[in-house]
Amino acid sequence: MLKIGSGAGFSGDRIEPAELLLEHANLDYLVLECLAERTIALAQQRKLHDEKAGYDPLLEKRMRSLLPLLIENDVRLITNMGAANPIAAAEKTLEIAKELNLSCKVAAVTGDDVLNQIDLNSVPWEANHSISQFEPIISANAYLGIDAIIPALNSDANIIITGRVADPSLFLAPQVYHFGWSKEDYPKLGQGLITGHLLECSSQISGGYFSDTHKKEVPDLVNIGFPYATIAADGRAVISKVEGTGGLIDLRTVKEQLLYEIHDPTNYITPDVIADLSTVQIREIGKNQVEIMNGTGRERPKSLKVSVGYHAGYLGEGEISYAGSYALERAELAGEILKERLLMHFPDLRIDYIGLSSVHRTNFGNATIPYEIRLRAAGYHNSKQTAGLIGEEVEALYLNGPAAGGGARKKITESIGVLSTLIEREQVQPEVYIKEWLTGEAMKN
Amino acid sequence: MANRGGDEELKLVEIAHSRAGDKGNILSLSLIPYKEKDYERLCQNVTPAAVKDHLKDIVKGEVIRYELPNIKALNFVCYQSLLGGVTTSLAMDTHGKTLSSALLEMKID
């Protein structure tokens, strides 16, 4: 049996649940998935300013708390916290190991950066014109698969740090390595990948992002436990969590996560296999224990997906509140004033009335006028200075708008757009860089 | 009570749950009945056309429905639904993460 834990499902995820997994779940591997679509482009920008930067901003914090437990419990770590700079992330990790006096071998997986290889004249999935028209391009990263990770597993590195890798591949790689599955055994790869998909968002399968306080109550969300899978050689997996932690794993939480971000369930395309969820069988075999089996798959695609990050201008935002009688009318008057003052710069200016219809752009006829209304204005502009006008005009409503507006806030956010395209697999050359640090004691042995 | 069991109009939120996902400008919505016996009822009532109509202020493109009888669940894929997608949308909820709640507001017979 192989045990793989999920210690982070996004870059800002909580750290304590990963510590609990390391202490109590008797894991073989811990996986930290920390890389969202835009993150790598932002990281690439940091790397341009500083060649030792460009990895996950929380890497140091996570490594300081997890490294001692990983080494003590002999658990190997696989993470995409390398972001735009896996080698710098590996160096930083070794530096922390030295400080903590822990022997440690770190592998960095590179090769996902394909900025110099992509065809700028190709048309991305999201548009009708070529990538080159989305200047300035910041980054282009291919989604690597198990082929890139397994060489690192073949070394005896404790810590494996990647950049862009398909999220579920982080979990599939240790299964293929441990059980010696053939890379052409697509049914097993499909099942293993589905287990990875279930684990990749940490607590989204163990009761996180689930409670509706009504029909879907979840116990002790405060102390929610993260999931781990106990996997058999045929790929069959049982998802569970550490006893005594909060949260919930049952058929409902597993079904929600199984379909999360899935389009055609028979055609879940990844670098390693085209997985098929339509044959999956799930059953509860105990409290907070769900068995997953019978997932399958077909031959992997010939090309890899590439995410291209480009600078998409600046998002300017401003907010202000109105309360009491006629609050909505005053907010609407403020909205009309903003439109007239800003439309020449922002033809797509968006005005939201928070509390009424801002989130779904409708309220399905359920409108009741709330006691208070918060107005939000938002727009994009290529110029940071012009984007800032939105916040400035919202703030100016204090003296130049309707009565009794309060709590104005303004913000400018640099925006990264993402485009998708493909690259031939042969054009991508993953490499593994390995570096080791031994304590004095370990060297004597 | 004028309504009789099984015949009344009810909101999906009473019999099913959902999670939203985003990929670019494409929204995916699962729909999972609490009781597996309600799966057929969802298949009959929650058609792609009905979902497109219910979410007409949100979904600007095609709605495709995938059926998963193996786990008694439906999956809806809605094109052109996220104002351009998380990276450049002007919406409050750029991911469309709250849109599962919008689907569950739908009423069926």
**Greater model confidence, A359 or A391:** A391
Quick one: A67 and A185 in the same domain? Answer: yes
Q: Is B98 on the interface with A (CB under 8 A)?
A: yes
Contacts of B21 in chain A (CB under 8 A): 259-262
The predicted structure's pLDDT at residue B3: 43
Quick one: A295 and A316 in the same domain? Answer: no
- Contact between A144 and A150 (Cβ < 8 Å): no
**pLDDT class for B2, splitting at 50, 70, 90?**
very low
Residue type, A171: F
Quick one: A262 and A348 in the same domain? Answer: no
Q: What secondary structure letter does DSSP report for A355?
A: T
Give the ipTM of the model, two decimals please. 0.93
In angstroms, rounded to a whole number, what is the distance separating the alpha carbons of residues A127 and A420?
A: 10
Average pLDDT, chain A: 95
Element (H, E) at A384: helix A384-395
Nearest to B98 among A263, A359, A366 (CB): A359
Quick one: A77 and A220 in the same domain? Answer: yes
Contacts of A137 in chain B (CB under 8 A): none
Contacts of B91 in chain A (CB under 8 A): 350, 359, 361
Least confident piece of the model among A259-268, A315-324, A423-432, B7-16: B7-16
Quick one: A265 and A355 in the same domain? Answer: no
Element (H, E) at A4: strand A2-8
Quick one: A250 and A397 in the same domain? Answer: no
Residue in chain A lying closest to B97 (CA)? A359
A134-155 average pLDDT score: 96
A70-96 average pLDDT score: 97
% of chain A beyond a pLDDT of 90:
90
* Class of domain B10-108 (CATH, top level): alpha beta
Quick one: A288 and A401 in the same domain? Answer: no
Among B62, B70, B78, B80, the residue to mutate for chain A (most A Cβ within 10 A): B70
Is residue A372 included in any domain, yes or no? yes
The predicted structure's pLDDT at residue B86: 67
Quick one: A258 and A320 in the same domain? Answer: no
The predicted structure's pLDDT at residue A444: 63
Cross-chain residue pair B71–A255, CB shorter than 8 Å: yes
Give the CATH number of the domain where residue A327 resides. Answer: 3.30.70
Cross-chain residue pair A255–B98, CB shorter than 8 Å: no
Quick one: A320 and A231 in the same domain? Answer: no
Among B42, B71, B83, B94, the residue to mutate for chain A (most A Cβ within 10 A): B71
Quick one: A194 and A339 in the same domain? Answer: no
A100-108 average pLDDT score: 96
Residue in chain B lying closest to A259 (CA)? B30
A233-250 average pLDDT score: 98
- Contact between A309 and A137 (Cβ < 8 Å): yes
In angstroms, rounded to a whole number, what is the distance separating the alpha carbons of residues A214 and A217?
A: 6
Quick one: A74 and A43 in the same domain? Answer: yes
The predicted structure's pLDDT at residue B1: 38
Residues 6 or more apart in contact with residue B67 via CB below 8 angstroms: B43, B74
Contacts of B52 in chain A (CB under 8 A): none
**Greater model confidence, A189 or B6:** A189
**Greater model confidence, B89 or A332:** A332
Judged against a pLDDT cut of 70, whether residue B14 lies above it is answered with yes
Range of the domain at A277: 2-113+142-301+427-437
CA of A264, closest CA in chain B: separation in Å?
A: 7
Backbone angles phi and psi of A147, in degrees to 5: -60, -30
- Contact between A177 and A147 (Cβ < 8 Å): no
Quick one: A248 and A322 in the same domain? Answer: no
Contacts of A279 in chain B (CB under 8 A): 70
Rounded to 10°, the helix A384-395/A327-342 angle is 150
Q: Is A32 on the interface with B (CB under 8 A)?
A: no
Question: Is 0.90 surpassed by the pTM of this model?
Answer: yes
Judged against a pLDDT cut of 90, whether residue A340 lies above it is answered with yes
The predicted structure's pLDDT at residue B4: 44
**pLDDT class for A36, splitting at 50, 70, 90?**
confident
Q: How many domains is chain A built from?
A: 2
Which three-class secondary structure state does DSSP give residue A65? helix
Q: Cα A409 vs. chain centroid, distance in angstroms?
A: 28
A173-202 average pLDDT score: 98
Residues 6 or more apart in contact with residue A211 via CB below 8 angstroms: A217, A218, A221
Cross-chain residue pair A415–B22, CB shorter than 8 Å: no
Among A250, A263, A381, the residue to mutate for chain B (most B Cβ within 10 A): A263
Judged against a pLDDT cut of 70, whether residue B6 lies above it is answered with no
**Secondary structure, 3-state, A273-315:** CEEECCCCEEEEEECCEEEEECCEEECCCCEEEEEEEEEEEEE
Residues 6 or more apart in contact with residue A391 via CB below 8 angstroms: A316, A317, A318, A409, A410, A411, A412
Is residue A127 included in any domain, yes or no? no
A363-372 average pLDDT score: 86
